[in-house]
Amino acid sequence: SDLVVVDKPCNLRSVPGHANPPPQEKERPRSDVGVDAARGGDIGPQSHRRTAQEAWVKAIQLTCLEEDTSISTSGKTIKQDISMEDAAVKEVLRNLGSTASPSCVPRKLETFVKYCHRNSKRLLPSFPDLHNRGKGASKKEQCEPTQKKQKCHKPSKQSGNESVSPMMRNIAQKSYTKISYAQIPLMNLPKPTENWESAIGQLRMLGFGDCGHCVSTITEDSGNADRSDDKGQHQPNHSKLHVVHRLDCQTSGIMVVARNHTAASSLCKAWRERELVQKVYLAHVRHWPPYHQHQTSEGTIDLPLAPSRTERIKWEVRPAAEGGKESKTYWKVYKDLENVTANNDEEGISQNYPIDKRGIILELHPITGRTHQLRLHCAAIGSGIVGDSLYGDSPIVWLGDNNPNTNTTVGTDGPNSLRLHAHKLTLPHPQSGKKVTFESPKPW
């Protein structure tokens, strides 16, 4: 099968991410940090966070020290029990650490390989067979950063397609891997989520994809699909999972995942054209003025949205003249809950809500796909979706996982859970092109 259809419960991530972030630390001026990194020094005892470049420079120095300490007391730099390739890797790492400006060493793999090839005489003095014997650059040019050279000179056959021997490439790649492994813990990155904490992770646990899954996302803003795999190339592989759309962590319902690159490309194209994919959501709202005051049972919300200027994770209603993006949602009344009595809980509405505030269930059809579009549109027109901690009338104050008033259990529905459900999803099948519809009943 080309597709995996998931009925995602509430409070479950769609895709893997970072767990609890590391504690916030006091920031230093960027200029001071940059000077320390360029000199090859540490970034200060009070700061434990490094940028990728700072961690890269420090990792080069640490691997150099590690190789220095492994040298035998007899002064021999190459041990008899290791291969020539491993000995060359050790020599490269030692000489990289002694570079006057470690920040000039490239951080991208292919550029790093070419850097080692051009500077082979300096990095591998004990291995003359591996030295770059081409016309090459002068000593002065060899010590300069690769990025500056690319800006100053037009691409040529030599600079664009440098002939790197297989042995030299293997040595450079092994050196790069060692530095990269030393770099990761220096950046103090947040701990990644476990497989059970996301829908994609759970699919991997069930055998639908491996740990190196390919993520393919589509956004209306960019109009392009961003796809990558372990080698940075597109390769059909049925063990990869391609994410073509996502649901908020608090939103439950239908989510589709592609199992190969061909299916992902077809679905991404359908998502870009909008009309080919129909999404239907169900949302519980307590008060809806168009219906309760004007007896209107359907309509269209047309309110431009843009990222909030003050809060990073939120969006806000903003006129198009001020940068707001077109956002449209068609709505109609799906169920009126006013007639549900206190003794009849057939709709699953908690008895904690007063009878006169039970509200209605809306059927929402997003015409565009902005971030938090349905939640914002409902909040702008009515009382907001029940349980919405960002835009509702009664936002939840987040006090952590130990807060008894906050419901964060996966798949459970409580008074604080977001009552927004992806009810139906209609899309063209990647192989036949025929429209298929997937439906999930609301859990509340």
Report, as residue numbers or ranges, the catalytic residues: 248
Helix axes 166-186, 84-97, angle to 10 degrees: 50
> Residue 425 pairs with which residues in a beta bridge?
279, 438
List own/partner pairs for 438-444 with CB under 8 A and 24 or more apart: 438/5, 438/254, 438/256, 439/254, 440/7, 440/252, 440/253, 440/254, 442/252, 442/282, 442/361, 443/9, 443/10, 443/252, 443/348, 443/411, 443/413, 444/284, 444/347, 444/348, 444/349, 444/413, 444/417, 444/419
Residue 183, amino acid: Q
Q: Are 197 and 401 in contact (CB under 8 A)?
A: no
Q: Which of 211, 179, 191, 185 is nearest to 96 (CA)?
A: 179
Q: Specify the amino acid at residue 392.
A: G
CB 319 within 8 A of CB 302: no
Helix (H, G, I), strand (E, B) or coil at 249: coil
Q: What values do phi and psi take at 360, rounded to 5? A: -140, 165
Cα distance between residue 134 and residue 151, in whole Å? 22
Q: What number of other Cβ atoms are within 10 A of residue 209's Cβ?
A: 22
Please report where in the chains the tokens 């646990």 appear, as a residue. 205
Contact 325, 372 (CB under 8 A): no
Beta bridge partners of 257: 4, 243
